[in-house]
Chain A
Amino acid sequence: MLLYALRRLIYLVPVAFGVSLLVFGLVHLAPGDPISAIVPPDAPKEVIDKLKEYYGFDKPLPVQYLRWLGVTLTGDFGTSIGTGRPVASEVASAFGNTIILAIAATTLAFTLAVILGTAAAYAKSRIVDRLVTLISLVGVSVPHFWLAIVLVIIFAVELGALPPMGMGPENSTGWRFDRAHLAHMVLPTIALSVIPLGVVTRTVRSTIKETLSMEFVTALQAKGMNDSQILRHVLKNAAPTCLAVMGLQAGNLIGGSILIETVFAWPGTGFLLNSAIFRRDLPILQGTTLVLAGFFMLLNLTVDVIQTMVDPRIKRG
């Protein structure tokens, strides 16, 4: 098992290389010039050239890529063109903020999804099943930024019960586990959890339903096992499929939702990417995308390893 995990980790190296190439390439394919975004339109040509030289944009692209790759590998992501602060610290703090929200939203969504999906799969009455199917359908179809705005209108504007935006009180310097910060999390967490809730509920329901129709469930009954003992078997069989979908959904949340973070002014990666795109802040764009891609790869690896632990028939690569 450890060997398998190690081997999978080594396979990530060429993938990571490909990702870095893609990240760099895509950013430079996009139209717009980072320098013209920060200088006034009437700036003299020599100033622009000086800035280009300072940031290294005067070099040919392959050279730029190798230089960027070289410093990135040392953990230095360069300096933000927009703020002049190091990219690494900007990305790190945004990533941390997004993770907090993502953990809260996945916990909420996955817990509810497993309960609802299992209940629907077991339900003998069609009403329960239909109701859960409806909930998951609404989850995947409702535009979550719209839901976010509606939540803000109801709970922040009309009722005044919860703060509408930001991560904490105004004088707050970073996230802490306290009442004020938690209150700020409630609305974004709910808005962020609807899509994974819908998707995962649907997967859990259909996977468990399929598992329940398998012969071994009858065989377990024939051995005299009671319902909760059988549920243990069923859940372990359904786990690999559900985990795969959960992994993808969690990955999406880690990427940060540009829309949700913008609605709630939550200083996460989505928020950061959004402003970096408008400012043509290439170092930030590259740094954030690379970190996110790396995290996504690690997340997939983790899911794969857990899957192999749960179901011995899965041994890939």
Chain B
Amino acid sequence: MSDLLQVRDLHVTFKTPDRTVHAVNGVSFDLKRGETLGILGESGSGKSVTLRSILRLHPEHRTRWSGSIRMEGDEVLDMGSRALGDLRGRRVAMIFQEPATAFDPVFTVGHQIAETIRRHTGKSESDAWKRAKELLELVRIPSPAQRLKAYPFEMSGGMRQRAMIALALSCNPSLLLADEPTTALDATVQIQVLLLIRELQREFDLGVIFVTHDIGVAVEVSDRIGVMYAGKIVELAPVEKMVDAPQHPYSRGLLASTVHDGMRGQRLEAIPGAPPDLAEVPTGCSFAPRCKFVRPDCTTAPPNLRATGDSHLVRCVLAETAVAA
């Protein structure tokens, strides 16, 4: 199986007159067709910025990209506006955290799905609406014909997110980007939407990148999980390995900070401190100030990503010793 998406040494910086923010500092990963990569991290870790860079959704005049993002071999960072327009929504589609704000409030849901179809396929208005109705059926929205004529505010949160998924799948993309798509939903609806995404992913053999700060969600949907911290992937591993034997101190802290059954009476573990300010690139490991295992050499040079096992990558000088421990 060939790679669907190849991201190599991606750097993203935002420039404003007063400050420069280094949001993503050298992210590399691959994604195959039909595979789901979960990107896990707290707010400000650069996970959403990485995701949105794949469609180059950041304001062009304030954003500097470097590195490489290859979608089915085509370099996204070199695309002109026309090629980019054909990529967006057609080959790579995206679903958002807040379906309430990701839909335009003053157009019907049907109009917004149909306009996407017409943009990419050149179908007639009525054919596009027919396809939109099929899509709503696909995501199991009841009475789809009526729902097409509804405005976003007339739908429930779960139904809006289903409609958003229908919109994303409208032009048969090969890659689906999901930016915390379940965070804004109720717990029960969350599970339904997750199951729907997983089912559709298998049915259409989609590559999926699923960004979340919810470890439970990441474990549920992903084949592999990448943990991001301060604009870097600090650990990348198949989901079982990540759950059973996380190696980076940050990943271990994250996984230890979840609350699950059988923890009654135990003290909750939290990672002390706060993520670093991304205005400056640190000289050493960016997690060092919060790390329990910090050593003198942690602060002198940034650690490299090293392989500690079959497709398990860790960015920590302690990686091997961590395996032994």
- Interface of A with B (CB < 8 Å)? 124, 214-216, 218-226, 229, 233, 236-237, 310-313
Is A223's CB under 8 angstroms from B88's CB?
Answer: yes
Convert B99-132 into 0s and 1s, putting 1 for each residue whose CB lies closer than 8 angstroms to a CB of A. Answer: 0011111110000000110011000000000000
Which residue of B85, B106, B167 is within 8 Å of A310 (Cβ)? Answer: B106
On whether A219 and B102 interact (CB within 8 A), knowing A224-B119, A229-B115, A313-B153, the answer reads yes
Q: Nearest Cβ distance between residue B310 and chain A, in whole angstroms?
A: 35
Which residue of B81, B90, B101, B106 is within 8 Å of A215 (Cβ)? Answer: B101
Which residue of A124, A223, A310 is within 8 Å of B119 (Cβ)? Answer: A223
CB neighbours (8 Å) of A224 from chain B are: 85-90, 116, 119-120
CB neighbours (8 Å) of A313 from chain B are: 105-106, 151, 153
| B239 sits at the interface (CB 8 A) | no
Q: Nearest Cβ distance between residue A316 and chain B, in whole angstroms?
A: 15
Task: Give the 6 A-B CB pairs with smallest separation, nearest first.
Answer: A224-B89, A223-B89, A224-B88, A215-B101, A219-B102, A222-B94
Which residue of A124, A214, A216, A222 is within 8 Å of B88 (Cβ)? Answer: A222
| B267 sits at the interface (CB 8 A) | no
What would 11 more interface pairs be, CB under 8 Å, given A215-B98, A225-B116, A236-B106? A216-B105, A218-B57, A222-B88, A224-B86, A226-B85, A233-B106, A237-B105, A237-B106, A310-B106, A311-B105, A313-B153
- Interface of B with A (CB < 8 Å)? 52, 55, 57, 61, 81, 85-90, 93-94, 96, 98, 101-107, 115-116, 119-120, 151, 153, 167
Is A219's CB under 8 angstroms from B61's CB?
Answer: no
Is B101's CB under 8 angstroms from A216's CB?
Answer: yes
Report the tally of A-B residue pairs with Cβ distances under 8 A: 74
Q: What does DSSP make chain A's interface, helix, strand, loop or mixed?
A: helix
Is A216's CB under 8 angstroms from B119's CB?
Answer: no
Is B106's CB under 8 angstroms from A219's CB?
Answer: no
Is A216's CB under 8 angstroms from B61's CB?
Answer: no
Is A219's CB under 8 angstroms from B119's CB?
Answer: no
CB neighbours (8 Å) of A221 from chain B are: 55, 57, 88
On whether A219 and B151 interact (CB within 8 A), knowing A224-B116, A226-B85, A237-B104, the answer reads no
Q: Nearest Cβ distance between residue B105 and chain A, in whole angstroms?
A: 6
CB neighbours (8 Å) of B96 from chain A are: 215, 218-219
Is A216's CB under 8 angstroms from B103's CB?
Answer: yes
Is A311's CB under 8 angstroms from B119's CB?
Answer: no
Chain B residue with Cβ nearest A236: B106
Interface centre among A215, A216, A229, A236 (most CB of B within 10 A): A216
Is B93's CB under 8 angstroms from A222's CB?
Answer: yes
Is A124's CB under 8 angstroms from B61's CB?
Answer: yes
CB neighbours (8 Å) of A236 from chain B are: 104, 106-107
Interface centre among A124, A218, A229, A236 (most CB of B within 10 A): A218
Q: With A and B bound together, what is the CA distance between A214 and B106 in angstroms?
A: 13
CB neighbours (8 Å) of B57 from chain A are: 218, 221-222
Is B89's CB under 8 angstroms from A222's CB?
Answer: yes
Is B116's CB under 8 angstroms from A223's CB?
Answer: yes
Chain A residue with Cβ nearest B177: A222
**27 A-B residue pairings within 8 Å (CB atoms):** A215-B96, A215-B98, A216-B102, A216-B105, A218-B52, A218-B57, A219-B102, A219-B104, A220-B104, A221-B55, A222-B93, A222-B94, A224-B87, A224-B116, A225-B116, A225-B119, A233-B106, A233-B107, A236-B107, A237-B106, A311-B105, A311-B106, A312-B106, A312-B151, A313-B105, A313-B106, A313-B151
Chain B residue with Cβ nearest A219: B102
Which residue of B55, B86, B101 is within 8 Å of A214 (Cβ)? Answer: B101
Q: With A and B bound together, what is the CA distance between A222 and B119 in angstroms?
A: 12
Q: Nearest Cβ distance between residue A310 and chain B, in whole angstroms?
A: 7
Is B105's CB under 8 angstroms from A219's CB?
Answer: no
Q: With A and B bound together, what is the CA distance between A227 and B41 in angstroms?
A: 33
CB neighbours (8 Å) of A219 from chain B are: 94, 96, 102-104
Chain A residue with Cβ nearest B102: A219
